[in-house]
Amino acid sequence: MEKISVAVRFRPPNLVAANTSPASSGGGGDREWRIDDTRVSLLHRAAGPITGASFAFDHVFDGAANNERIYGTVVRELIGAVVGGFNGTAFAYGQTSSGKTFTMNGSDADPGIIPRAVRDVFDTVRQADDREFLIRVSYMEIYNEEINDLLTLEGQKLKIHESLDRGVYVSGLREEIVNSAEQVFELLQLGEANRHFGETNMNMRSSRSHTIFRMVIESSGKDQTDGGDAIRVSVLNLVDLAGSERIIKTGAEGVRLNEGKYINKSLMILGNVINKLSENGKQRGHIPYRDSKLTRILQPALGGNAKTSIICTAAPEEIHIEETRGTLQFASRAKCVSNCAQVNEILTDAALLKRQKLEIEELRKKLQGSHSEGLEQVVLKLRNDMHKSELERDRLAMELEDERKLRMTLEQHLTEQQKLEAISSDHFTDSIQLDLLKTPDSKSVPDGFVACRSRYSQDVEFSPIPENLDNIAEEDLWTRLNKGCVTDLDMLEMTPNLKRESSFLQEKSSAAPLEEPTNAICQRLAKECIYDQQQLEESKARCANLEKDCDVLRDENLSLQQELSESKLEADSLVAEKQAQLDDLRMRCVALERDLSSSRQEAHRLATEKQELAGQLGTERQKMDELKQDIRVICGDLLQREGQLTSIYTKSKAIIESCKASQAV
C-alpha cells in the first residue's frame, strides 16, 4: 500500500485579470497565501495566520516553477514504474484558468507533462536491452457525459465495459500502435483539433471536456521461451480535467452554461469518491465510481492497482481564495488515499504482443537483412491492421449480442401476441361464428354459366347479337356467339396454380358435369397429394424449429429469472447498505449538531472573554497614557536639572581655573 502523490502548483498572479474581473470589486486585498516547499498557509496581513487554513503536501510549487521542474519532481519516477509493468496515472485538478492544460500540455518553449512523458517512455524503452516492447496509444474526451474518440469522428458516444482480462475499458476506442515519439505527437495534434474548447470571462481558451491520453505498454523478455513467456501489460493515463467554475465569474450562458453543469457534476462526484476513499475501511461504505464516466474510467487509479500522482493547480489572487481553498481541501483528502500497485503480468494470449510474436519475428528478420525503412513501416502497418481487426471483431461481437437481445425481446412480444390470439379464439367455439369471422372467398359461386373447354381456337371477325340471353348458356348458343370458336379457358387464367377445390365442387353440383379424362384427374390428384405432403413436411420442420426455439427461449428465460433474482438480492443488499449509510449519516449529523452547539457555546464564551479583554485593554491603555504623561513630566524635569547641572559645572570650572591662576601668581 502506498499513498497517492499530491503536489500543488500556484500559477503566477494575473493582475490584469484580477483588476478587470467583475468579482474583484469586493476584494479588500488583506489576505494572501504563504507558500513553502511542502506547506501552504493563508495569512491575514494584519492579524497573521488564519486558523484552519494551513495545508501540508508532498510538494508545493510557486509561480516561478516551470514544467520541467514539476515533471522531474512528480512524474518522472512514475514513468519508470510504468515501463517496468506498473499502472500509472497523472492528472491535473483545479478551478478554471488555474493552469491545468498548461501543466499537462505546456507550450513549445516549456513542454508539459504529456510530451515529456511520451519522450521519457521511448527513451526508457530504448535503454531496456533485455526486453521487447509494444506501445499503443488512444485519446478520448468526456464531453457532457458522453465519451468521444478524439482520433476519429466516426465512433462517437462510446460505452464503458468491464472484463476479467482487460478490466475497465472503453469499447470501440481507436488504438494506434506507435514506435516513435513523433508519431504520438501527430496523434496528439489530431486529437487536440477535435477537442471541445470555449471562451469564458475567465479564460480565452477554456477546456470544456475532460481528456484522457492513454498509453498501453506491453513487454516481454527477449531470451524467454514461448512456453513460459509472461507478458507485462501496463497502462499510463495522463488526464487533463476541465476546471470547476462559478457562473457568476465565468458569465456562462447557453451551451457554455450546460457544459459547466456537466463539468461541475463530474468533478463533484470525483470529490465524493476521494472523500469515501480517504475514510477508514469500516466507515467507507459504497464508493460511487459508477455515478460518473470519469470516475468509472479512473477507477483503477483511485484506490486500485496503480501508482497515481495528482497536480492541483491554484490561483494566488485574492478574488479566488475560496476556490483555491476548495482545491487545497480536495488535495488534502486525496493525500490520504492509498493504492495497491503491483506488476501486471499476463500468462495467457490476452496480450497483443504475444499474439503477434511470430509475425513480428519474421518481419524483424527481413528488416535485419535489409536496412530499408519501408519494411519497418510494413511491420507497423501490419500490426495496426491486426489490432484494428481485433477491435472490429470485438465491436461486431457486442453488436451481435445487442441483436440477440433485440431478437429475444421481439420473440417475447410475439409469444405474448400469440397467447392473446389463442385466448380470443377460445371464446368463439361455434363453427358458424368462426365462418363469419373468416375472410370470404374472392371467387363467387357461378350461376351455372358453362363453357366447354377445348385445345383449339379459331379467329373470328365479329360476334352476332343473340336474340335472347338467359342465365344458362348452352353449347349451341355459345357456338353461335363465337361462330364455332370455342375459347380456351386455360389461356384466360390470371392466377396460376390457384386451388379452388371447394368452388369446383359447387360448380359440379349446380351445373352440368365437365368431361375430363380419368388419367388427367389421377395425375392432378397425385400432384395435389405430393404438394400436400411437401406442405406437411415443411410444417413439421417449422414446428420442430419452433420447438427448438421454444426450448432455447425457456433456457434463456430461466437464466434471466436467475439473473433477476440475483439482481433483486443485490438490490436488497444495496438498499440495506444505503440504509446503513443513511443511519451513519444521521448519527454523524447528530454528532455534528452537538459539536456545533458546543462550538456556539465556546464562541459565546470567547466573545464574552473578548469583551472582558477589550475592557481590560481600555484600562491598560488609560494607564499607559498616564504613564506616558508622567514620563513626559519626568523628562522635562530631567532636562531642567541637566541644564542646572551644566550651569553649575560651568561655574565650578571657572572657579577652579581662577583658583589655579591665583595660586600660580
Q: Which three cell numbers stand for residue 208?
A: 470544456
Q: For cell 497536480, what's the residue?
A: 311
Which whole-number Å values give the CA distances from 77 to 5, 89, 234, 486, in the listed order? 11, 12, 15, 105
Q: In angstroms, rounded to a whole number, what is the distance separating the alpha carbons of residues 265 and 268?
A: 5
Contacts of 273 (CB under 8 A, 6+ apart): 287, 288, 289, 295, 302
Beta bridge partners of 312: 8, 93
The answer to whether the CB of 297 falls within 8 A of the CB of 160 is yes
- Neighbouring residues of 319: CB distance < 8 A, sequence distance ≥ 6: 18, 21, 23, 24, 26, 27
DSSP code of 111? B
Residue ranges at the known binding site: 94-101
Question: CA torsion sign, 444 to 448 to 451 to 452?
Answer: positive
Binding residues for ATP: 94-101
Cell of 631: 514620563
The grid coordinates listed for 198 are 470555449
178 forms beta bridges with 135
Residues 244 and 330: their CA atoms lie apart, in Å, by 12
CB atoms < 10 A from the CB of 652, how many? 10
Nearest alpha-carbon partner for 86 in 113, 59, 124, 138: 124
Residue identified by cell 470589486 is 25
8 A C-beta contact, residue 177 and residue 186: no
The C-alpha atoms of residue 352 and residue 386 are separated, in whole angstroms, by 9
What order of strands is seen across the sheet that includes strand 31-35?
Answer: 31-35, 39-44, 48-56
Q: What residue type is assigned to position 179 of the chain?
A: N
Cβ neighbourhood burial of 391 (10 Å; 0-12, 13-18, 19+): middle
